[in-house]
Amino acid sequence: MTADVKPKFAMYWAASCGGCEIAVLNTHEKILDVDANFEVVFWPVAMDAKYKDVEAMEDGSILLTLFNGGIRTDENEHIAKLLRQKSKILVAFGSCACEGCIPGLANLSPVGEIVHTAYNTITTDNPHEIYPRTSFDVPEGELHIPKLEQILRPIDQVVDVDYYMPGCPPESHQIAAVIDLVIKVIHGEAQLPPKGTVIGVGNSTVCDECQRVRNVKLIKAFKRIQDIAPVDPTLCILEQGIPCNGPATRSGCNARCPSAGAQCIGCYGPAEGVIDYGARLITAFASVIDAKEPAEIEKILDGIPDPTGQVYRFSLPGSLMKAAKSAWVKE
Amino acid sequence: MSEKKNERVGVYVCHCGSNIAGVVDVVDVANWAAEKLGHQGVVIAREYRFMCSSPGQELIEKDIKELGLTRIVVAACSPHLHEKTFRTAAKNAGLNPYLVELASIREQVSWVHTDKAVATEKAKAVVAGAVSRVIENAPLEEIKVPINPNTLVVGGGIAGIQAALEIANAGFHVYLVEREPSIGGHMAQFDKTFPTLDCAACILTPRMVEAGTHPNITLLTWSDVEKVTGYVGNFNVTIRKKARFIKEADCTGCGICQEKCPKKVIDEVYEAGLGYRKAVYTPFAQAVPNFPVMDKENCTYFIKGTCKACEKFCPTGAIDFKQEDQLINVDVGNIILATGYDLFDARRVSNYGYGRLPNVFTSLEFERLSNSAGPTGGHIVLRDGKTTPKSVGIIHCVGSRDKNFNNYCSVICCMQGLKFAHLVHEHTGATVYNFYIDMRTAYKGYDEFYQRILEEGNLFVRGKVAEVTDAARGEREKGKLIIQVEDTLAGKQRRIPVDMVILSSGLQPRSDAKEVGKMFGISCSTDGWFTEKHPKLDPVATMTEGIYIAGCAQGPKDIPSSVAQGAAASARVLDKILQREVILEPIKATVDKDKCSGCRICNGLCPYSAIAFLADDNVSEINPALCQGCGTCVAACPAGAISGTGFSDEQIMAQIDGLLLRNIEAVEA
Amino acid sequence: MTEKFEPTIIGFTCNWCSYRAADLAGTSRMKYAPNVRLIRMMCSGRLDPTFVLRALSSGADGVMITGCHPGDCHYMEQNYKALRRYLLLKRVLKGMGIEPERVKLVWASAAEGARFASETTLFVEEIRRLGPLNWGKPIEKLEDLQEEISKMEEVPA
């Protein structure tokens, strides 16, 4: 690329909340660097471009695409494949794209239940029980809306991904650092990390950045944070009996939540090389339980009322099992 | 998963004669491996009659050299049998021995399944699992640590004494720890020993003296082991030498203190409750060491602050009421546990009346009666201390071979019962009945002894005694103990009145065997005896390197067997000492300090204290010398920062995939 | 189903007790169901929940975890750690609609070959009764949401 032609940049949101887009904007002045160094060709939240514009681009012509959100519908899948085709570097941006995140919790229910619930909430007025149809004939032709896929998937289960940037959302200072890196790479001042690297993160887990004091852990009871308030600000939160996901969660956020007095809920995903995030938490919590008799252990475990949610809040689609049995096992 | 590896795998499927080939189609398995696992790296797959034979091993060695094999899978018997064999074969051919995996298709397939087609399919899956796993194996080097040439022997009975003497005679130092005031164990309590009827003390005491005076043996009696840390070649043991309240340096063993002591106490230990000792005492005349011990709980000075007769009369001023327990720390390379047995508590068999009916005696009580140095001077008399019995019933299998108590056979009780018969007959001329279920007289001279006792005119009734009672029916039974038994050979119930009943009580593990085992890091079987490494081929070693067992601590046995085991354990120890260094399996865990977050969740998980927290660096660290390779911390680390060699995540995950046939060339449903 | 369902089960054994129990069952020629494929680890404490999840998501219908009896672990206490992980893992699996009976923990000492064999056979029957796990079918794009909703009543909560 010459000095006059700026490299192309795209950002897309699939099944997500929009927080990652906000996080990018939250880099404040850094966004001007994006504008200065890139030509933004496709970014639904920020500009008006159509799918056909993307389809018309040459393959590999977009230098950097930040793909945010999980793959929930066939539209998400189509655009993921399209952007992969048109992009040189595709980054799974944010926890939704990396491992499914909150929308991924829908994988605990079969689609029928999800749709039924959505159209029958206490505040929904749907007396005739009307549900959406994916295709509908009108005089002008056939109308289509995207089809729901049976379960939500992180993007790397659909296309090849170059880099991962976890977080819900990724911390703005990390986004800024990545933008800086890419700009340096464009100017030939730095090398891209190996394909598949998780970027915008630290080398270890949250405890590495957490300032609290840690001792050998022996937990006799798990509690909710409101049960022991006020939380001791100097002592490890897990040691106080609150299930903190910090030990299994990738570092990079500066232990934001524990610094603020709350337990880590694990939005940065697993540590390097870990295949199943939830498994690491299962083993971590089990290891600190101070009991030997099954009855006593079960009693202590009762202090974590939703263990599946506790360990897979952000990572269910990216886990080994990916979803609950009812969501996708068909007899 | 890990990146594509280009390994060259050789698969060898053993027929094991017809043991495997009779059920599993080994040719099919080998062909299948070559065809379906070829893309994974299998370059050759052979089948052979006996892979563990020399030609079998040579097949492997040849292929490694000629085909450049980098990984080997041998589908055969259990790795516990031949893992070492095939690792050595690989080593001989220049391949790292840890790049060999054994797939068990005998113990776990051909011997346990009957449907040949199903067994063959399972064998294929097992091979696939092993191939996937071995590709992830990393070459490892054995770890060598130097051995401390000192040895700890715990228990000063005949087995412990034998072991200590063997090692000491070879020129190496032994610490012999005994919890009683004297060594000698149970054997010192016996009168005569079967089948030769040697006097126990006569054959034992020379050994005891030898052990007590040997320059290479440090005797620590009236002592207990409190703590053990370390690993084979480098154990550190803390021993509590309890206060005797006698200064050993000044004591001459003259015995005046005992003589003058006014306080008599029933001797529950040595005299089995039949005789007395003093508050300051040596347990028996030939005690080694010959220093007395003061029984703090019964000594008048310790109770009331008065008396001190011993101190007054001691010619050398050796009494020291202020003496304290001593904690001694020793470093040893190997440990032998020869802690012996406890006698089955015959009170538990309430229908035999022991503890309730005065003239029912246990075997140990009888030994003391019969022993000329015992409380009755060798006269076999009733509980009143005077009356000689005219008829005696000896009951075998008390507490043994009994689902209500101990299911096992105590090995020595039949011979013991016969010995008692002989001694009673010899001392009293009484009529003797032996009540037995089976007569177990298996070893050298044992059956001949049985025949001799038969010929002496003793009476034998085959039947398990139902009851010993003093409820007399009729004149004949008045004042007697009546043995109610079914005489199975005669086919009728009998009531046999006798004056005295001797219970040939069984042996059971020491009451604290489990705690002792835990302290040394070994386990006990369901019956409570220390668990040997292999019941046939390795009876004196344990699963813990450097800890050996000998004598009745391993299971009930007679004196010759205890001596043999004591010698065997010492041979194993000497073997280790002479090798100068011990080779440890390189199965260890390591912390990747870059990944470690210092969460400290692993810190509480290691029973060997191998994990330390480095506060300055905020990381945990594992000491490879202490790590025993259990892998618990590897599984626990939430950051995946701990890896384990030998049984790594990659290896196990690969094996899971392989066993589920996930990486077969043809499409799997 | 015309053919009898044959479960595939992965069994994790510990080198000192349960693997030797399996060997003893073999040496004693005890017969048991052929549906279990064993993996040897040094200790049940090595059991990473990831292994169980990997097995279940890769085609296994059940997982058996075996180790030394509590108090008899060759490495002192590590089987207790396996027990705690197992109990929490079962709760998480339950939350994902997987029958907790599909993962079973069995303690067996090296002398208990018969127990190993009988527990294995029992477990195979249990899994047979539960049916195949059938995890990981290809994703479908759903045309008719009404049909999906009507299925809702059939699916257990």
Could you write out the DSSP letters of every residue in B256-276?
HHHHH---EEEESSTTTTSEE
Measured in angstroms, the CA of A7 and the nearest CA of chain C are apart by 35
Does the distance separating the beta carbons of A326 and C97 come in below 8 Å?
yes
Residue of C nearest to A129 (CA): C146
Instruction: Give me the residue label for tokens 């603020």.
Output: A260
CA distance B406 to chain C (A): 17
Average pLDDT, chain C: 89
DSSP single-letter state for residue C150: H
**CA distance, residue C102 to nearest chain B CA (Å):** 16
Q: Which helix (H) or strand (E) holds A282?
A: helix A277-288
**pLDDT over 60 (residue A3):** no
**Contact assessment for residue B170 and residue B353, using Cβ atoms and an 8 Å cutoff:** no
**Distances, alpha carbon C11 to alpha carbons A154, C38, C65, C131, in Å:** 31, 5, 6, 18
Q: Which among C19, C37, C46 has CB closest to B631? A: C46
C115 touches chain B (CB under 8 A): no
Chains touching A (3+ CB pairs < 8 Å): B, C
Residues of chain B with pLDDT under 70: 1-4, 665-669
Minimal CA separation from B217 to chain C, in Å: 31
Q: Under a CB-based contact definition with an 8 Å cutoff, are residues A116 and C149 in contact?
A: yes
The nearest CA of chain A is from the CA of C121 a distance in Å of 24
* Rounded Cα gap, residues A298 and C83, in angstroms: 11
Are B78 and C31 in contact (CB < 8 Å)? no
The answer to whether C114 faces chain B, any CB pair under 8 Å, is no
Q: Is the predicted pLDDT of residue A121 greater than 70, yes or no?
A: yes
Give the three-state DSSP class for A320: coil
Whether the per-residue pLDDT at C156 is higher than 60: the answer is no
SS3 state at B326? strand
DSSP B440: -
Residues of B in contact with A286 (CB under 8 A): 636
Do residues A326 and A318 touch, judged by C-beta distance below 8 A? no
Which of B618, B638, B653 lies closest to A248 in CB terms? Answer: B638
- B334 alpha-carbon distance from chain centroid: 15
Nearest to C46 among B544, B634, B660 (CB): B634
Q: Is C30 contained in some domain?
A: yes
Reported in sequence order, the residue ranges of A157-201 that DSSP labels E, i.e. its strands, are 163-165
Cβ pair B249, B319 in contact under 8 A:
no
When CB atoms are compared, the residue of A203, A215, A271 closest to B600 is A215
For B335, other C-beta atoms within 10 Å of its C-beta total 28
Tokens matching residue A58: 């040459």
Question: How far apart are the C-alpha atoms of A8 and A62, rounded to whole Å?
Answer: 5
Which H, E and C letters describe A77-91, residue by residue? HHHHHHHHHHEEEEE
State which amino acid sits at residue B130.
Answer: A
pLDDT at residue C79 in the model? 86
Mean pLDDT of chain A: 93
pTM of the model: 0.82
CATH of the domain at C59: 3.40.50
Of B155, B159, B156, B154, whose CA–CA distance to B563 is shortest? B159
pLDDT of A330: 56
Residue C17 lies in a domain: yes
DSSP A268: T
Task: Give the model's pLDDT for residue B3.
Answer: 53
- 3 state SS of B62: helix
| Assigned token pair, A326 | 């009812």
Q: Which residues contact B464 (CB under 8 A, 6 or more apart)?
A: B397, B435, B437, B485, B486
C58 contacts chain B (CB < 8 A): yes
Tell me, yes or no, whether B357 and B501 share the same domain.
yes
pLDDT at residue B668 in the model: 43
Distance, CA of B629 to CA of B590 (rounded, Å):
10
Bigger pLDDT: A132 or A12? A12
Q: In this structure, which amino acid lies at residue A268? A: Y
C73 within 8 A of C20, measured Cβ to Cβ: no
Residue of C109, C152, B121, B253 lying closest to A118 (CA atoms):
C152
What is the dihedral sign for C-alpha B490, B494, B498, B500? positive
- Whether the CB of C110 is below 8 Å from some CB of chain B: the reply is yes
**For C96, which of A116, A147, A308 is closest by C-beta distance?**
A308
User: Mutating which of C14, C35, C36, C41 best tests the B interface, going by the most B Cβ atoms within 10 A?
Assistant: C41
Query: Least CA distance to B618: which residue of chain A?
Result: A208
d(CA B666, CA B652): 23
Residue C84 sits in which domain range?
9-151
Q: Which residues of A touch C143 (CB under 8 A)?
A: 134-135, 147
Angstrom CA distances, B632 to A243, A291, B113, B618, B636, stand at 21, 16, 33, 21, 6
The answer to whether A287 contacts B604, with C-beta atoms less than 8 Å apart, is yes
A302 Cα distance to chain centroid: 28
Position C16 in a domain: yes
Q: What is the mean pLDDT of residues A90-109?
A: 95
Q: Are A67 and A157 in contact (CB under 8 A)?
A: no
What is the C-alpha R_g of chain A? 22
Cα separation, B517 vs B527, whole angstroms: 13
DSSP secondary structure string, B384-426?
TSSPPPSEEEEEEEESSS-TTS--S--SSHHHHHHHHHHHHHH
Query: pLDDT (tens digit, 9 = 90+) per residue, A273-324?
Result: 999 999 999 999 999 999 999 999 999 999 999 999 999 999 999 999 999 9
Residue B565 lies in a domain: yes
Looking up residue B466, the CATH number of its domain turns out to be 3.50.50.60
Q: Which residue of B has its CA nearest to C112?
A: B526
C1 inside domain: no
Whether C46 and B644 lie within 8 Å, measured CB to CB: yes
How many angstroms separate the CA atoms of C88 and A303, rounded? 11
Is A322–C57 a contact, with Cβ atoms under 8 angstroms apart? yes
Whole-Å CA distances, B411 to B441, B442, B482: 9, 9, 27
CA-based angle B373:B377:B380, to the nearest 5?
120
Domain that holds residue B622: 589-644
**Residues of chain B found within 8 Å of residue A204, distances taken between Cβ atoms:** 594-597, 639, 641
Rounded-to-integer distance, Cα B480 and Cα B123, Å: 69
Q: Evaluate whether A11 touches A64 at the Cβ level (below 8 Å).
A: no
| B128, B218: one domain | no
Q: Which of A294, B628, A55 is nearest to C14 (CA)?
A: B628
SS (H, E, C) B534-598: ECCCECCECCCCCEEECHHHCCCCCHHHHHHHHHHHHHHHHHHHHHCEEEECCCCEEECCCCCCC
Same-domain check for residues B485 and B627: no
pLDDT at C155 over 50: no
C-alpha to C-alpha distance for B382 and B520, rounded to whole angstroms: 44
The percent of residues in chain A predicted with pLDDT above 70, rounded, is 98
Identify the residue among A198, A213, A215, A216 best suited for mutation to test binding to B, counting B beta carbons within 10 A and taking the highest: A216
Tokens representing A134 are 């994916």
Do B129 and C30 make contact, defined as CB atoms within 8 angstroms? no
Inter-chain touch C34–B653, beta carbons under 8 Å: no
Tokens linked to B138:
């990393």
Count of other CB atoms within 10 angstroms of residue A37: 15
Beta-carbon contacts of A41 under 8 Å, excluding residues fewer than 6 positions away, are A8, A9, A10, A49, A53, A54, A57, A62
Specify the number of domains making up chain C. Answer: 1
Q: How large is the ipTM?
A: 0.94
Q: What is the pLDDT of residue A244?
A: 96
For residues B253 and B268, what is the distance between their CA atoms, to the nearest angstrom?
A: 23
Contacts of C45 in chain A (CB under 8 A): none
Asked if residue B70 and residue B121 are part of one domain, the reply reads yes
**Of the candidates B429, B424, B422, which has an alpha carbon nearest to the alpha carbon of residue B501?**
B424
Indicate the domain borders of chain A.
8-103+150-186, 112-149, 206-326
Contact A280 B639 (CB under 8 A): yes
How far is Cα B468 from Cα B474, in angstroms, rounded to an integer?
16
Phi, psi of A53, deg, nearest 5? -65, -40
* Chain A interface test: which of B599, B618, B620, B643 (most A C-beta within 10 Å): B599
pLDDT of residue B665: 66
Q: Do A149 and C85 touch (CB under 8 A)?
A: no
| Distances in whole angstroms, Cα of residue B79 to Cα of each of A299, B104, B588 | 40, 7, 19
Which residue from B minimizes the CA distance to C15? Answer: B80
Judge whether residue A107 has pLDDT over 80: yes
Tell me: do B328 and B401 sit in the same domain: no
- Kindly state the tokens that stand for B258: 């005992």
Q: Which CATH class is domain A8-103+150-186?
A: alpha beta
> Is C143 within 8 Å of A147 when comparing Cβ atoms?
yes
Contact check, Cβ <8 Å, A274/B636: no
Q: Do A204 and B601 touch (CB under 8 A)?
A: no
Count other Cβ atoms within 10 Å, centred on residue C98.
21
> Cβ contact (<8 Å) for C111 and B635?
no
